[in-house]
Amino acid sequence: MYNFETMDKRLIIFGNLFLVANRLQTVMDSQMEGLTAKQWLVLTMLGMFDEPPTLKQLAKMCNTSHQNTKQLVLKLESKGFLEVTKDPKDARAMRICATAKCTEWELANQENNAKFVNQMFFTLTQKEILVTMTSLLKIYDALEDMANEQK
């Protein structure tokens, strides 16, 4: 049995990162209409680009494999949220564009999304939110460095 009082707190955080990720996905999947959490992430990351990204660029932004991103994009395309077109300059590349249905969904769910985030963070102070954000960014950067060392 684990003794959480004496256990290395980094190990507790390590385990909790997985638990939080699983819980977040489960709750989002049960509360979002028409999308899964992973599909929502793809649409959110799509909004980070000034012009329609290639599948490779979107996969990198989502930090997932090309294959996983392609499956999500194809599912979103079949639901009418995305349009996949060939790049006019490179026939091998596919460009990913949001459709009007995607924009409509975002507008229709804006209030629910804000409520979800507010409920998720309501117990944290502004200082705790800042520390959590900063800590997660540092952890992400460390993981990025670890991934780059393996290449």
CA distance 136 to 96: 28
Q: What is the pLDDT along the chain (151 residues), one digit of tens a residue?
A: 778 888 999 999 999 999 999 999 999 999 998 899 999 999 999 999 999 999 999 999 999 999 999 999 999 999 999 999 988 888 888 899 999 999 999 999 999 999 999 999 999 999 999 999 999 999 999 999 999 998 7
Inter-residue contact 93 to 54 (CB < 8 Å): yes
The full set of domain ranges for the chain reads: 17-103, 121-151
Inter-residue contact 40 to 28 (CB < 8 Å): yes
Q: How many CB atoms lie within 10 A of CB 63?
A: 13
Domain covering 17-103 in this structure, CATH number: 1.10.10.10
- Cα–Cα nearest to 69, from 56, 86, 83: 56
Q: How far does the chain reach from its first CA to its final CA, in angstroms?
A: 38
| Stated pTM of the model | 0.86
